[in-house]
Amino acid sequence: MTKTIIASFALALLFLTSATSYADDVNWQTVKSDACGGFTVKMPGTPKEESAAEKEVILRTYSVNEWPEGIFTVACIVYLPSAKVNVQDELTTNRDNFNKESEATLISEATITLQGVPGLDFTSQSAKHRTNYRVRVYADGNRVYLASAGVRKGHDELIKIEQFLGSFHLTDR
């Protein structure tokens, strides 16, 4: 019994040591944005920033896709103050639009909150692009935030995904 416990402990220690060094092999960058009310997030590399505006919507994205295993993105959408935004509709619409654009199928979803802001955490997969996605969408009045990690099938990037999604915080709260 004692040998089993010692062996289990040694195996767990080995796993934790390798997991920590694996997560540290990336040059994590803290991104601070004052756009959309402000947020911070840690991304596995230097993100490319893009902005666009259409009619009543402003979009800003930050993406890291410089490695072959996948892509990490934060998108911030701001509707004009006069726009009427239904939070629940916005969450499901963003989920559906993400899956449509990614040619992905919804696997699971859960209702979440971040600093009192309602959100949706979902997992999808695209057979065409051989990619698994983990996405969190938050709707805060006329602002919507989407943090997504897409990892190619065959690559286990769970630690990076959790580190990325867990680091997203709103700075105006």
Domain assignment present for 54: yes
Burial category of 81 from C-beta neighbours within 10 Å (exposed 0-12, middle 13-18, buried 19 and up): exposed
Return the number of other C-beta atoms located less than 10 Å from residue 160's C-beta: 24
Structure tokens, 94: 């963003």
- Residue 98's domain spans which residues? 27-170
Start-to-end CA span in the chain (Å): 51
Q: What is the pLDDT along the chain (173 residues), one digit of tens a residue?
A: 433 333 333 333 333 333 333 445 678 999 999 878 899 999 999 999 999 999 889 999 999 987 778 899 999 999 998 888 999 999 999 999 999 999 999 999 999 999 999 999 999 999 999 999 999 999 999 999 999 999 988 777 888 999 999 999 999 87
Check: CB of residue 122 under 8 Å from CB of residue 152. no
Domain assignment present for 3: no
Domain assignment present for 77: yes
Domain assignment present for 16: no
So what's the pLDDT on residue 9? Answer: 34
